[in-house]
Amino acid sequence: MLDMQQKIKIFKALGNETRFKIFKNVFTGGYACSIDKKKPQDDIIAQATCVTTIAEHFSFSLPTISRHLKELKDANIIKMTKKSNKIYIKPNPTIIKDLADCFADLVDNYNDTMFQFDNT
């Protein structure tokens, strides 16, 4: 699935408050692109959002948000699709699923083999 370096990249990306908030909102649909709200049915990625819209939710500058988004993209947490002169941002649920599975496996494996631990 995910190799160690990929995992570390994901953790690094999510270990920053601004990026974590972006991640959470992108995933839970917390953002809506103002333009798309007017004509959702016209657009195949109507539920996606764009860079400027996300930046509006923060007090940081647009370039700063842009760079945070790049990091989330490089960690494969979000997907960015250019359409005309805008970039639509979507979550990448498969990678988060992989991460959840990897943690769950770790815990399962731990419970199976290390039951003799005293975890007080």
Partner DNA sequence: TTGTTGTTTAGCTATTATGCTAAATTGATA
Partner DNA sequence: TATCAATTTAGCATAATAGCTAAACAACAA
Asked if residue 30 binds its own copies (CB under 8 A), the reply is no
Q: Min. distance of Cβ 46 from DNA in angstroms?
A: 14
74 binds, among its own copies, DNA, none (CB under 5 to 8 A by kind): none
Q: Min. distance of Cβ 44 from its own copies in angstroms?
A: 6
Mapped onto helix, strand or coil, the DSSP state of residue 117 is: coil
112 binds, among its own copies, DNA, none (CB under 5 to 8 A by kind): none
d(CA 92, CA 51): 16
Which string of x and - marks every residue 61-90 that binds its own copies (by CB under 8 A)?
------------------x----------x
Asked if residue 47 binds its own copies (CB under 8 A), the reply is yes
Give the per-residue SS3 of 5-49: HHHHHHHHHHCCHHHHHHHHHHHHCCCCCHHHHHCHHHCCCCCCE
Q: Looking at beta carbons only, is 70 or 97 nearer to DNA?
A: 70
d(CA 76, CA 89): 12
d(CA 66, CA 54): 9
